[in-house]
Amino acid sequence: MTNARITTDVLIIGAGPSGSIAAANLHRLGHQVLVLERETFPRFSIGESLLPHCMSFIEEAGLLPAVKACDFQFKNGAAFRREDVYTWFDFEDKFSPGPGTTFQVERATFDKALADGAAEQGVEIRYRHTITAVDTSGELALVSYVDGDGNSGEVACKFVLDASGFGRVLPRLLDLEAPSDFPVRQAVFTHIRDNILPAEFDRNKILITVHPQEKDIWFWLIPFSDGRCSMGVVGTQEKLARHKSDNLIAQLQAFVAEAPELAHLLRNAEYCFPSREIVGYAAKVKQLAGDKFALLGNAGEFLDPVFSSGVTIAMRSASTASKVLDRQLRGETVDWQSEYAQPLRRGIDTFRVFVEAWYDGRFQDIIFYPDPSANVRRMISSILAGYAWDTDNPYVAEPVRRMNALADFCRQPGTVA
């Protein structure tokens, strides 16, 4: 069966964090918005540790009350462990202005709270709708879909925002995908009932643990408010293959056993939830926007989960795109490259420098340096808190030079950073 054509100002593909925030923003600005989402909510998604910069975008979209009502785990920083060395960053002690605390969230609940909050504001969201074709060559963009009952239809709109995340709808349909220059890495992860003693674990912080022998393998531990944690291991496919198993839980536990401090922390953990894996998740595109479309968040580029930057980039892209699109819909001439793509890439490129330096060991040497400068530490804390677009921060203005200089300095014996 074929449905009649739907007409709207803006079609948003995906009701995840970037889609919900963009939809709420544009609706509040007076534009007609339709969101088509392939899944039904709640649904599982990875990426549970928010960064404080996210809070500005959630509040801007009028969705903060919906998030606060969920009683998520409070988060005020990030902790790092390498063998017996433990250090942490307090996100309230940072260089950049803005929120210094946020939440650790179970994404199924979090994403539904954002989508429901946008719907309560008046945004129309249709679930179980799969996009099958996109044509941006005419006066209006035409988007074809099939709903959950097998009915096909078409949406005619002035603009399309792709918030489909790892589904990457427009990159696939418009031939926008480009090869990532990141190595192919794999993440194996699950949720656990952690049973960690309160004195042993600061539940207000994500814990990142480095493998004791291989610095490019690391573990995350993200506490939830109900006594569970999200936990996973990340490494190249080749390295994770040494414990390869049809049972992903067994593979995950084998790697945990190689990190004695983490294994001790999780000695009473219950692995009673399904385990999952993602392989080759890094993504890149030829362009982030055209005259009738823009890519938000992971639909455009995704780097790596190590600093929890994915949701922050997604929300930042939604906020920036909403402002540019509002002006375009009101008849102004806008330049999507200079007003959206280039500013967004500045923060992505900052995160990229930190991710690359994490895996080659430069940033690990900085993090675990025993006597750091308080001022430099605040600058680093700002980036870890998500403020990768604050060009007043020297590590954003010149990330490559500053990273290399600081790493060299920290590797010299007897120095104070």
* Amino acid (1-letter code) at residue 294: A
* CATH 3.50.50.60 location in the chain: 6-179+283-346
Query: Counting beta carbons within 10 angstroms of the beta carbon of residue 409, is it exposed (0 to 12), middle (13 to 18) or buried (19 or more)?
Result: middle
CB proximity list for 11: less than 8 A, separation 6 or greater: 33, 34, 35, 36, 141, 143, 155, 157, 159, 160, 161
- pLDDT tens string, the chain, 417 residues long: the values are 566 789 999 999 999 999 999 999 999 999 999 999 999 999 999 899 999 999 999 999 999 999 999 999 999 999 999 999 999 999 999 999 999 999 999 999 999 999 999 999 999 999 999 999 999 999 999 999 999 999 999 999 999 999 999 899 999 999 999 888 888 899 999 999 999 999 999 999 999 999 999 999 999 999 999 999 999 999 999 999 999 988 999 999 999 999 999 999 999 999 989 999 998 877 789 999 999 999 999 888 888 888 999 999 999 999 999 999 999 999 999 999 999 999 999 999 999 999 999 999 999 999 999 999 999 999 999 999 999 999 999 999 999 999 999 999 999 865 544
State the virtual CA torsion across 55, 60, 66, 70 in degrees, nearest 10: 0
Q: Count of residues for the chain?
A: 417
Q: How far is the C-alpha of 222 from the C-alpha of 105, rounded, in Å?
A: 9
Backbone angles phi, psi at 339, to 5 degrees: -100, -15
Read off the pTM. Answer: 0.95
User: Would you state the structure tokens that stand for residue 249, as one six-digit string?
Assistant: 């839980």
* CATH 3.30.9.100 location in the chain: 185-279
CATH architecture of 185-279: 2-Layer Sandwich (3.30)
Q: How far is the C-alpha of 372 from the C-alpha of 384, rounded, in Å?
A: 16
> What confidence score (pLDDT) does residue 97 get?
98
Could you tell me if 114 and 130 are in contact, meaning their C-beta atoms sit under 8 angstroms apart? Answer: no
Strand bridging mode 77-82 / 205-210:
parallel
Ramachandran assignment for 351, one of left (phi > 0), alpha (psi -120 to 50 degrees), beta (any other): alpha
> What confidence score (pLDDT) does residue 146 get?
96
> What confidence score (pLDDT) does residue 416 get?
47
Is domain 6-179+283-346 in CATH 3.40.50.300, yes or no?
Answer: no
* Amino acid (1-letter code) at residue 390: D
